[in-house]
Amino acid sequence: MSSGFKSTNRVKSSIVPWVLPREDIPINIELPKDMDFDTIQVKIPTDFKFVDFFNVGHVDYVDNVAVINGINRTKIPNTPLYFGFIVSSNEIPTKLKTSKRIIVEIHSNNKVIEKINLNARIFRPMLEITEIVEKIELNDDKKVYKVPMNLKYIGFGDIKLKREAEIEGRIVSQGQSLIDELLRRIYVDVQENATNETCENRNHLQLEEGAINRITSEIEKRIMEGNLEDVIDDIDPDFFEQYFTSTETKNEFLKIVYTRLDDILINFLTDIVDKYPTDNVRLQEPHTNIYTKIDSRIDKITIRVLYKDKLDNIYPPVEIQIKIIDQRIKNTEASINMPMVIKKWEEDPFLNVAEMEVKEDN
Q: What is the DSSP string of 302-354?
A: EEEEEEEETT-PBPPPEEEEEEEEE--SS-TTSEEEEEEEEEEEEEEE---GG
Paired residues of 301 in beta bridges: 322
- Identify the three-state secondary structure at position 171: strand
Q: Can you tell me the distance from the alpha carbon of 29 to that of 213, in angstroms, rounded to the nearest whole number? A: 61
Confidence of residue 193 (pLDDT cuts 50, 70, 90): low
Convert the pLDDT of each residue in 8-31 to its tens digit. Answer: 568 999 999 999 999 999 999 999
Contact in structure between 307 and 169 (CB atoms under 8 Å): no
- Identify the three-state secondary structure at position 85: strand
Side-chain half-sphere exposure of 69, counting CA atoms within 13 A: 5
Q: Can you tell me the distance from the alpha carbon of 335 to that of 290, in angstroms, rounded to the nearest whole number? A: 10
- Please give the single-letter amino acid code of residue 83: F
- Whole-structure pTM value: 0.73
pLDDT score recorded for residue 99: 96
pLDDT score recorded for residue 209: 63
Give ∠ CA 72-78-84 in degrees, rounded to 5. 35
Confidence of residue 353 (pLDDT cuts 50, 70, 90): confident
Contact in structure between 324 and 302 (CB atoms under 8 Å): no
Give the residue among 54, 86, 56 at the shortest CA–CA distance from 72.
Answer: 56
Q: Can you tell me the distance from the alpha carbon of 216 to that of 261, in angstroms, rounded to the nearest whole number? A: 11
Q: Can you tell me the distance from the alpha carbon of 231 to that of 6, in angstroms, rounded to the nearest whole number? A: 60
Domains and CATH numbers, the chain: 4-123 (2.60.40.740), 125-176+287-349 (2.60.40), 177-276 (no CATH)
Q: Is the pLDDT of residue 199 over 50?
A: no
Out of 105-114, 132-141, 244-253, least confident range: 244-253
End-to-end CA distance of the chain: 18
- Please give the single-letter amino acid code of residue 19: V
pLDDT score recorded for residue 203: 44
pLDDT score recorded for residue 146: 85
Convert the pLDDT of each residue in 283-316 to its tens digit. Answer: 776 667 777 778 777 889 999 999 999 999 999 9
Percent of all residues in the chain with a pLDDT value above 70, rounded to a whole number: 77
DSSP state, residue 355: G
Confidence of residue 232 (pLDDT cuts 50, 70, 90): low
Q: Is the pLDDT of residue 197 over 50?
A: no
Q: Is the pLDDT of residue 172 over 60?
A: yes
Side-chain half-sphere exposure of 173, counting CA atoms within 13 A: 25
Convert the pLDDT of each residue in 308-347 to its tens digit. Answer: 999 999 999 999 999 999 888 887 777 777 888 888 888 8
Percent of all residues in the chain with a pLDDT value above 90, rounded to a whole number: 41
pLDDT score recorded for residue 265: 61
Give the residue among 129, 131, 132 at the shortest CA–CA distance from 154.
Answer: 129
pLDDT score recorded for residue 222: 75
- Stretch 190-211: mean pLDDT, rounded? 53
Convert the pLDDT of each residue in 208-225 to its tens digit. Answer: 666 667 777 777 777 777
**Residue 201 phi, psi dihedral angles, 5° rounding:** -100, 5
Convert the pLDDT of each residue in 77-134 to its tens digit. Answer: 777 889 999 999 999 999 999 999 999 999 999 999 999 999 999 999 999 999 999 9
- Identify the three-state secondary structure at position 88: strand
Contact in structure between 124 and 153 (CB atoms under 8 Å): no
pLDDT score recorded for residue 336: 78
